[in-house]
A and B are shown apart, each in its own frame.
Chain A
Amino acid sequence: MRSITKASIAALAAVTATTSFAFADGLSGDLKIFLDTSNPAPRETFETMIAEFQGMHPDLKIETTIIDREAYKTQIRNFLTANAPDVATWYAGNRMLPYVQPGLFEDVSDLWEGELGENLASTKAAMTIDGKQWGVPYSYYQWGVYYRADIYNELGLTEPKTFEEMKSNCQAVLDSGRKCYTIGTKFLWTAAGWFDYLNMRTNGYEFHMDLTAGRVAWTDDRVKQTFANWRELIDMGAFIDNHTAYSWQEAIPFMAKGEAAAYLMGNFAVDAIKDAGVTDDQLDFYQFPMIVEGVPMAEEAPTDTLHIPSNAKNKANAKAFLQYVASADVQTEINAKLGQLPVNNKSSVNADDKFVSQGFEMLNGAYALAQFFDRDAPAEMAKVGMEGFQEFMVRPDNLDAILTRLDAAAKRIYK
């Protein structure tokens, strides 16, 4: 721990020597940080990390506010305009756009110059709008299917490589009196994970990007094919009943109790699944299988980011903090605790964590990385779209009406 801190100080000092932030051996003044890391593990990780930063700058008055992750999404616009902190968490990709366009995020391109920029190069595109960078990433993570290995073993199943295997596995699970997948769609976005994967596997990454960017109509036959694949699973009864009533956390007990065998989720869920009583031996992970032969396998890998609001009062301190968080050692440390992947390519991945190392390998071999439906599509479209996905999961017969509605919304939103 001590050596990491020392190394970070050295790294910081090196950076400050080249840039013009005037501080000698410690920052002073205030630093107001808003975080959406409200789940127990991320909360603790950030609190520890901030405490270390505080230790390096004893004269700095740091004030941290941790806001519930779902509530944060509705509040960010408010506080960026009215009550801006100096640092705020957010997400990469198109999801920055509503705050970049009206000038609510500060341009931090200068942080991306030099070595740090090279180290973070893999996410540079996702952080860039209009040729400038608007924040720094601190973490990313894979999505995939987390499953109960003990149930698969009991039924003699193996990790599926194709959609056909996925369905036959599912049938075996159903025959054993369980559901194949747990999911909680109360807050909508979990359904988008399914859509993203089904669409990327059916029509490919480029098509998916065209769709979320409004270049393809929602009523396109290729989109319908994606939903047709989805429907096969729904008609089998693959998903748990009543998923509209649950949040993603509330869907976990079905898996913990063995009533459902698997969960398509981001890697952040591992912690919560284990907390619910699933042991490390019982839990395993596989990549979402291929659907159409020859479609290159792209993956979801949402990037979590830190930004400086344009209305921030202590931008110099904020930049120092961003540099600190982006540095190799700090990324190694926090991502080990988060169970996620560091963005900085000088950081090391926690090899003891089988999910993290598998995920890292999978993402390295990926054809391309998508952020996530609600980060790739504009906010309003994401909302309408995800409502449509949820409705489809409950009433698949409404598909035509849903797609017509999405198309009408898209025409208005992308104009």
Chain B
Amino acid sequence: MFPTPIEKSSRTWQLTYQSLLPVALVLWLLPLIAVALFSIKPAGDFSAGNYWNLPSQFAGFENYGRVFLESDMPRYLLNSVFITIPTVIGAVALSAMTGFALGIYRFKLNLAVFFLFVAGNFVPFQILMVPVRDLTLQMGLYNTKTGLVLFHIAFQTGFCTLFMRNFIRALPFELIEAARVEGIAEWRIFWYVVLPLMKPAIAALAVLIFTFIWNDYFWAVVLTQGVESQPVTAGITSFNAQYRAAYHLMSAGSIVAAIPPVAMFFLMQKHFIAGLTLGAVK
């Protein structure tokens, strides 16, 4: 193990390390802790110039209450859910299929198709902005959740295919051969043999895509507007504009917007990290 395990080092270094950890963590998360602190302060603290001292009173319920009851935040949150969940389902479904096709079968264009997906995934997505916006407009899907979802599914298919295909490659191929010998139809092999083995990959990918899509801002701004379709990342900016310089409310709103992916991460940590780090080890 590198660096040398702490148990094997001197007592002083052990103690130093143990006390260094929380300090480092607090420093690392300082900007975030500040926002959390802001979100429970009463408005009066800010006009009194009390930015960084402890809150004069706990106003968390009031601030968060206003975010939920007096603003459009709940609608934005709901929009985010209705954008994120279908995208996750769609992208995972499509890429399970493409990954299966590219991971199991040997055919001439296999590598070419695979690289097409990979290259598309690396494209700076701004180059798609003008045409995709126009396309969405022409299909009458501008400013709809559907329009946003369709694009997200398509774009995420690139990354997901890369992921799924590499995962399937690593599965024991004998299983599939054995199934073929039994005379099982190919789509049944997919459904009954490969898909069950892909569960960890599906879980990892689902969590990852959830986070990516939930946090998307660029496409939300390009393809939607207004409270009926915008996700919370875009919503938070109009929320903030409404309460500009009302730091306690902006903080509370930001935290509300950030919570779902954070919760997802803590609940599904294992899958999340497995997904992110696929390929980081050989």
Residues of A that sit less than 8 Å from B by CB: 34, 38, 40, 43, 65, 67-71, 75, 78-79, 81-83, 247, 249-250, 252-253, 256-257, 276-277
Contact = CB atoms under 8 A, between A and B. Distances in A.
Interface in B212-252: 225-228, 237-238, 241-242, 244-245
B51 to A, nearest CB: 11
A71 B241 contact: yes
A78 B69 CA distance: 29
A250 B143 CA distance: 31
Contacts of A78: 142-143, 225
A256 B48 CA distance: 11
Given A247-B244, A250-B245, A65 B47 contact: no
A38 B238 contact: yes
A194 to B, nearest CB: 21
B27 interface: no
A89 to B, nearest CB: 14
A274 to B, nearest CB: 13
A253 B245 contact: yes
B241 A69 contact: yes
B72 to A, nearest CB: 9
B268 to A, nearest CB: 33
B137 interface: yes
Contacts of A68: 237-238, 241-242
Contacts of A65: 226-228
A250 B244 contact: yes
Contacts of A82: 137, 142-143
Given A79-B226, A83-B225, A277 B47 contact: yes
Contacts of B225: 67, 75, 78-79, 83
Nearest to B234: A71
Contacts of A81: 137
Given A78-B225, A253-B245, A277-B47, A67 B238 contact: yes
B143 A83 contact: yes
Give the 7 A-B residue pairs with the shortest CB-CB distance, closest first. Answer: A68-B241, A82-B142, A68-B238, A83-B143, A249-B244, A75-B225, A249-B245
Q: Is the interface of B mostly helix, strand, loop or mixed?
A: loop
Contacts of B142: 78, 82-83
B47 A71 contact: no
A68 B230 CA distance: 13
Interface of B: 47, 49, 137, 142-143, 225-228, 237-238, 241-242, 244-245
Nearest to B222: A78
A83 B143 CA distance: 7
A41 to B, nearest CB: 12
A266 B244 CA distance: 18
Given A68-B241, A70-B241, A79 B143 contact: yes
A94 to B, nearest CB: 24
A40 to B, nearest CB: 8
B144 to A, nearest CB: 9
Contacts of B228: 65
A250 B250 CA distance: 14
A70 B238 CA distance: 9
17 contacts: A38-B242, A40-B242, A67-B225, A69-B241, A71-B238, A71-B241, A75-B225, A75-B226, A79-B143, A82-B137, A82-B142, A83-B225, A250-B244, A252-B245, A253-B245, A257-B49, A276-B47
Nearest to A252: B245
Contacts of B242: 38, 40, 43, 68
A276 B225 CA distance: 31
A68 B225 CA distance: 11
A33 to B, nearest CB: 12
Nearest to B225: A75
Nearest to B136: A82
A112 B148 CA distance: 41
Nearest to A76: B225
Nearest to A34: B226
Contacts of A252: 245
B48 to A, nearest CB: 10
Nearest to A247: B244
A363 B227 CA distance: 38
Contacts of B227: 65
Contacts of A69: 241
A392 B244 CA distance: 26
A78 B238 CA distance: 17
Given A67-B225, A79-B225, A249-B245, 16 more contacts: A65-B227, A67-B238, A68-B241, A71-B238, A71-B241, A78-B225, A79-B143, A82-B142, A82-B143, A83-B142, A83-B225, A83-B226, A250-B245, A256-B47, A257-B49, A277-B47
B237 to A, nearest CB: 7
Nearest to B144: A83
A67 B237 contact: no
A69 B244 CA distance: 11
Nearest to A38: B242
A414 B143 CA distance: 33
Nearest to B137: A82
A78 B47 CA distance: 38
A75 B228 CA distance: 14
Contacts of A67: 225-226, 238
B46 to A, nearest CB: 9
Nearest to A78: B225
Contacts of B238: 38, 67-68, 71
A373 B192 CA distance: 68
A43 B70 CA distance: 13
Contacts of B237: 68, 71
Contacts of A253: 47, 245
A78 B241 CA distance: 20
B119 to A, nearest CB: 30
Nearest to B47: A277
A9 B278 CA distance: 69
B280 to A, nearest CB: 39
Contacts of B226: 34, 65, 67, 75, 79, 83
A9 B242 CA distance: 33
A61 B256 CA distance: 32
Contacts of A256: 47
